[in-house]
């Protein structure tokens, strides 16, 4: 599909793309260690921690993927006013992302702490609170101020409360002539009405349209939802089954790239980042889907929330 476009030309096009990511951010923390005994205090393993790692997750991981592929990424979100927010700010600066983190002094930044031993999670501890009205109003004001600086808007909804006003934000972006992509959450898709594209996975779509027994039934239900919400397209990510694009014509399907899968966490972030980049530089949704499918194949071979670099994408495209 990209045979007539050199790697240098693709990289130059990506460098012109300006994508704003709005949504719920989190700090993914990993404590790696080993387990050699059971605690005398309770029947639980004792993990001796030898390494600590932290990565930007949620909407921040979408922004990381855009920057890693060579695009210009902005990130607008709510955090607490704490050490975890400082860590996120620093990570975004390292990745070359312009971060607009609205700090709510009354909440804690969302943190997911995973204790890992011998490549197995022992436990995950979540710290999260809903942002307050005053900070969400600041988010709206900041969004309207920076919207003219970007070509495409991606909403990354993780259900943490940062996108309370997403319906208004979609309207403002549409009136400004921007493409709008949404990684959805929950069963209420009415708030995403008017978006250009949504990217649910199988479980998320099933929660909205119900189950399906055939590809024909799936297509009928997906197209009905698309028309009801006035969407240009729905990109259904299907894990080992690849992905399917439901637009104006016949559904377009791409099988997954055959390889060993280590971790699917964060793959959805990579998919929507590539779709946003592709649309920002003028690719058709089907072409952007090809890029997204290829990049997702790269990140699922990595552990944890990971990104696809432009070099990795270029190599994977060349191998097809």
Residues forming the active site: 269
The DSSP bridge pattern shows strands 18-23 and 152-156 to be parallel
Q: 260, 297 in Cβ contact below 8 A? A: no
Q: Please report, in angstroms and rounded to a whole number, the separation of the first and last CA atoms in the chain.
A: 10
DSSP 33-52: EEEEEE-SSSSSEEEEEEEE
The tokens for 199 are 């990217």
Do the beta carbons of residue 288 and residue 274 sit within 8 Å? yes
Q: Bin 20: left if φ > 0, else alpha if -120 < ψ < 50, else beta.
A: beta
Query: How many other CB atoms sit within 10 Å of the CB of residue 211?
Result: 10
């Amino acid at each position: 599909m990209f045979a007539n476009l050199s790697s240098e030309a693709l990289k130059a096009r990506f460098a012109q793309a300006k994508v704003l990511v709005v949504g719920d951010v989190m700090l993914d923390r990993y404590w790696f260690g080993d387990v050699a005994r059971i605690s005398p205090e309770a029947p639980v393993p004792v993990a001796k921690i030898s390494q600590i790692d932290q990565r930007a997750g949620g909407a921040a991981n979408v922004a990381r993927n855009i920057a890693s592929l060579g695009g210009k990424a902005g990130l607008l979100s709510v955090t607490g006013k704490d050490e975890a927010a400082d860590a996120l700010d620093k990570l975004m600066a390292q990745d070359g992302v312009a971060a607009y983190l609205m700090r709510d002094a009354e909440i804690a930044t969302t943190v997911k702490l995973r204790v890992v031993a011998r490549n197995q999670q022992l436990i995950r501890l979540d710290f999260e609170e809903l942002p307050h009205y005053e900070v969400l109003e600041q988010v709206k004001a900041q969004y309207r101020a920076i919207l003219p600086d970007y070509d495409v808007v991606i909403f990354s909804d993780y259900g943490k409360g940062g996108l309370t006003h997403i319906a208004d934000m979609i309207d403002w972006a549409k009136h400004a002539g921007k493409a709008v992509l949404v990684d959805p959450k929950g069963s209420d898709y009415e708030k995403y009405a008017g978006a250009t594209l949504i990217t649910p996975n199988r479980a998320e779509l099933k929660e909205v349209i119900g189950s399906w027994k055939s590809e024909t039934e799936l297509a009928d239900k997906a197209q009905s939802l698309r028309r009801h919400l006035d969407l240009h397209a729905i990109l259904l990510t299907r894990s080992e089954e690849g992905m399917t694009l439901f637009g104006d014509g016949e559904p377009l399907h791409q099988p997954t790239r055959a390889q060993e899968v280590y971790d699917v966490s964060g793959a959805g972030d990579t998919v929507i980042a590539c779709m946003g980049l592709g649309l920002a530089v003028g690719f058709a949704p089907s072409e952007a889907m090809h890029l997204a499918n290829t990049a997702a194949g790269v990140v699922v071979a990595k552990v944890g929330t990971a990104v696809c670099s432009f070099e990795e994408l270029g190599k994977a495209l060349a191998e097809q």
